[in-house]
Chains A and B, each alone.
Chain A
Amino acid sequence: MLRLDGSQKHRIELTVNGKQHSGEAPPRLLLCDFLRHELGLYGTHVGCEHGVCGACTILMNGRAVRSCTQYAVQADGQEIQTVEGLNNGDTLTDLQDAFRQRHALQCGFCTPGILMSVTHFLNCTTNPSEIDIRDMLSGHICRCTGYDSIVKAILDVAETRAIEAKNQQDK
């Protein structure tokens, strides 16, 4: 059993975007704040801080989850992916490129969280309908786009990936 004193910092080791990271955190430090201020990964945005807006969504062990309603100490030993891990920095992934093509972002505050959600969503949903996509997007708040362009971008990626998967099968 692990017992940590609330007034002290504790060493945390975890994998972020495939690399081993470590840092220090008191138990009350939110995971999103740890990623930003301790590890310097500012791609994860912090909005409402109570799990509603979706800006802080990351992948933990492959699943899209909020990083504002869990604590850094809980992530010890876990595998995390943030928006920085989607590509190596020079090129866009198919998903990011579709967002660019479809103008699925304006201010970009909600975008990292949405990209992480969609990454998990498309991994576990093949051929999603527009209704499926909108249902998944209900966990995010975007005040710029009106969502339509985001939905179209996701549909584009889903269709392209379905065609690629079919071509792969036919080979």
Chain B
Amino acid sequence: MKPVAFDYCRPDTVEETTALLHEYGHDASVLAGGMSLGPMLNMRLVRPSVIVDINRITELEQVGLTNGLVQTGSTVRQADVMDDSELLNQVPLLKLALPFVGHFQTRNRGTLGGSVGHADPSAEIPLCLATLGGEVELASRRGKRLVRASEFFLGVLTTTRRAGELITSLYWPQHTDSTYYAFDEVAQRHGDFAIAAAACAVTLDEQKRINKISLGFGGVEDKPVLASLTAFVGAEPTCSLASEIAFTATKDLNPMEDATAGAAYRTSLATTLGRRVLQKAITEAGGR
């Protein structure tokens, strides 16, 4: 399996990259870590005429904190995030989810932005970004724009990124005290594509009642799904409530079907994983 011939460009700056992407439009593919694009090229599932390699753009490797948002440049490697305890303290959900992303060897190369841009429905990083209410920063020749993660993913390998645009950063809401997180997934083998994954963030108010709650599912529908849970704000966090929330959150899912799992099984997994992550977060929060 070898890719078809492609021209190769290695820009040094974001400005050069957006100029290239403007020039080539849909004919260009952006290459970050290559853990998804590489296999697709090798299997000839994609045949771009130009590869734009963004691995040597130092401005895309930056990590920062501004106005309660943690900014991660799009080519920050997954392994580097796992080694960055300061960053993990600001975005604890990533600490829980990253061990599920591929393997030691692929995380050494794979990037946060690449996973988001690739938009595999079962991918953990897009699910975390959507669950936390994060944003994706896109740059083009015309300037930059921010898109909410919940609006960024449109379907399987499809996002609102337009031809000519480059993902430059991801923005993650900074951790606040009294927010508790959990992540879990089921895959055939650790590191494989998740059949279903669940992530949650539960924030309590001063009375130890639910102030904010977010529950997301990956691998179930064609993009990360966020449950609508406003009805549970103000409720006392208990483990039996977790079951009720998980049931409510998954009863209207419209799951994908494939050779690995049917729709009913995916829904059942989502309900179970939803309950597990909520119970874990609630237990950590001191609920019963």
- A residues within 8 Å of B by Cβ? 1-7, 26-28, 30, 33, 49-52, 54, 57, 63-66, 68-71, 73-74, 117, 120-121, 135-136, 138-140
Tell me if B79 counts as interface (CB < 8 A to partner A).
yes
Report the separation of the CA atoms of residues A139 and B12 in the bound assembly, to the nearest whole angstrom: 31
Q: How close is A136's CB to chain B, nearest CB, in angstroms?
A: 5
- B4 adjacent to chain A (CB < 8 Å): yes
Q: Which residues of A lie under 8 Å from residue B39 when comparing CB positions?
A: 50-52, 69
Using Cβ atoms and an 8 Å threshold, which residues of chain A touch B38? 50-51, 66, 68-70
Q: Is the CB of A74 within 8 A of B7?
A: no
Question: Looking at the complex, which one of B7, B34, B43, B99 makes contact with A3 (CB distance below 8 Å)?
Answer: B7
Which residue of B has the minimal Cβ distance to A62? B108
The answer to whether B79 and A1 have CB atoms under 8 Å apart is: no
Q: How large is the interface on B (under 10, 10 to 19, 20 to 34, 35 or more residues)?
A: 35 or more
Q: Name the one of B2, B6, B79, B109 contacting A30, with C-beta atoms under 8 angstroms.
A: B2
Q: Report how far A66 CA is from B106 CA in the complex, Å.
A: 7
Could you tell me the distance in whole angstroms from the C-beta of B34 to the nearest C-beta in chain A? 5
The 0/1 profile, CB within 8 Å of A marked 1, for residues 1-45 of chain B is: 111111111111000100010000000000000110011001100
Contact across chains for B10 and A139 when beta carbons are under 8 A apart: no
Q: How many A-B contacts if CB must be within 8 Å?
A: 106
- A27 and B6 in contact, given A64-B104, A138-B190 (Cβ under 8 angstroms): yes
| CB of B30, distance to nearest CB on chain A (Å) | 14
- B window 96-120: CB within 8 A of A: 99, 102-106, 108-109
Nearest residue, chain A, Cβ from B7: A6
Docked-complex contact B105 and A1, CB < 8 angstroms: no
A117 engages B105 (CB within 8 Å): yes
Is residue B189 within 8 Å, beta carbon to beta carbon, of the partner chain? yes
Most buried by B among A63, A66, A121: A66
- Give the distance in Å from the alpha carbon of A6 to the alpha carbon of B28 in the complex: 13
The answer to whether A51 touches B35 (Cβ under 8 A) is yes
Q: How many Å lie between the Cα of A121 and that of B49 in the bound state?
A: 37
List, in ascending order, chain A residues with CB within 8 A of B99's CB: 135
Residues of B within 8 A of A57 (CB): 105
Given A1-B9, A1-B16, A69-B35: A135 and B1 within 8 A (CB)? no
A contact residues around B61 at 8 Å (CB) = none
Given contacts A65-B108, A138-B189, contact A28 B34 (CB under 8 A): no
A70 to B34, Cβ gap below 8 A?
A: yes
Residues on B with C-beta less than 8 A from A63 are 79, 108-109
Identify 12 residue pairs between A and B in the complex whose beta-carbon atoms are under 8 Å apart, listed by A's number. A7-B5, A27-B7, A49-B2, A49-B42, A50-B1, A50-B38, A51-B39, A52-B39, A63-B109, A66-B106, A69-B42, A139-B191
| B53 adjacent to chain A (CB < 8 Å) | yes
In the bound complex, residues from chain A placing their C-beta under 8 Å from that of B104 are 64, 117, 121, 135-136, 138-139
Contacts of B102 on A, CB cut-off 8 Å? 139
